[in-house]
């Protein structure tokens, strides 16, 4: 089985996208319950770094889009953009380190907001 980092760092074909879409629909209820349960807990440092890495990869991919929206890009172009982003792994690592303080602040704000709603 592939690790999470391997999954988020690979480019997906159209067939793989369809398969993941079906799996996501099938497990939607279970993921919703888990999300509700984890809402009040602080994310671990590993989870925060995963979030920062994902945001960094998204930033790199946005550079290749040239102002287009991700939804408007055809699947074949998405695959090419993801492959180009995978080649920029050192840039993604640097951006991840720069984003970490912002991700931590966002997590603090999220926790304050959630705790405020429950009081």
Predicted confidence band of residue 1 (pLDDT cuts 50, 70, 90): low
| 105-116 pLDDT tens trace | 999 999 999 988
pLDDT at 72 over 80: yes
Q: What is the pTM of this model?
A: 0.69
Segments forming the whole domain that contains residue 67: 4-118
**Six-digit token string for 7:** 């999954």
Mean pLDDT across the chain, nearest whole number?
Answer: 90
Half-sphere exposure of 75 (CA within 13 A, CB side): 7
| 27-58 pLDDT tens trace | 999 999 999 998 999 999 999 999 999 999 99
Residue 12's CB: how many other CB atoms inside 10 A?
A: 15
- Counting the structural domains of the chain, the total is 1
Q: What's the CA gap between 50 and 53, in Å, rounded?
A: 5
């Amino acid at each position: 089985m592939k690790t999470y980092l391997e999954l988020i760092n690979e480019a997906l074909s159209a067939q793989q996208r369809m398969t993941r879409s079906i799996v996501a629909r099938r497990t939607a209820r279970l993921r919703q319950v888990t999300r509700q349960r984890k809402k009040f807990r602080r994310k671990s440092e590993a989870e925060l770094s995963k979030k920062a890495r994902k945001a960094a990869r998204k930033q790199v991919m946005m550079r290749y889009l040239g102002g287009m929206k991700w939804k408007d890009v055809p699947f074949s172009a998405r695959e090419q953009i993801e492959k180009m982003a995978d080649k920029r792994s050192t840039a993604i690592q640097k951006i991840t380190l720069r984003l970490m303080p912002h991700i931590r602040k966002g997590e603090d704000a999220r926790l304050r907001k959630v705790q405020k709603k429950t009081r």
